[in-house]
Amino acid sequence: MTKQEKVNFVIDTLNKLYPKVPIPLDHKDPYTLLIAVLLSAQSTDVRVNQITPLLFEIADNPYDMVKLTVEEIREIIKPVGLSPMKSKGIHGLSKMLIEKYNGKVPADYEALESFPAVGHKTASVVMSQAFNIPAFPVDTHIHRLMYRWGFTNGKNVVQTEADAKRLFPKDLWNRLHLQIIWYGRQYSPARGWDLDKDIITKTIGRKTVINDYLKKSR
């Protein structure tokens, strides 16, 4: 297969598997999505979705959030991990939203990345899922699969994002990044990987990745 044929195969396969793509993190608006994505760092979406209802019942907007102390936020979000950093980030960004943006989450990369505890990936998810602005957030699943499929050298997420944006049509980015995340979880995980179930990697995958898998499975 040519590189373009491989890209087309990925798009077609993912569209068949995931004609409708749910957003993994529960939220109701850009603010609650921003908080949920921030909380998801080095945690699982399942865990975050268990904790955010408890937090949002008390404060689902920046005005109510700043009424809480950092310690009060930390006590609620402890189960998701990294609570000292995340609680400071949530309180700090909520204060900034009120002071600079009238409590509204801005649809702007530079503004989003200026908030405490908000990096490029978090900003990209918000731009994509809250504002429908083309973005290709790269999480561990996308980074892993782009390497397994031979679409990137896998050196870092910055390069992986650049390669994904170069290979896939811009109008598909928002949909594709979610489809790849779901595919990675269901068919191509880091642990317990079964190549026979992973039709995309089995069909177009990097030869070294497939050979390493076969050696370990013998």
Residues identified as active-site: 121, 139
Query: CA separation (Å) from 154 to 97, 102, 158, 202, 217?
Result: 35, 40, 9, 18, 23
* Cα dihedral value 36, 42, 45, 49, nearest 10: -50
**Is residue 181 within 8 Å of residue 193, measured between CB atoms?**
no
Cβ neighbours of residue 115 closer than 8 Å, sequence gap 6 or more: 89, 92, 93, 96, 97
Any idea what the Cα angle at residue 165 is, between residues 45 and 181, rounded to 5°?
Answer: 20
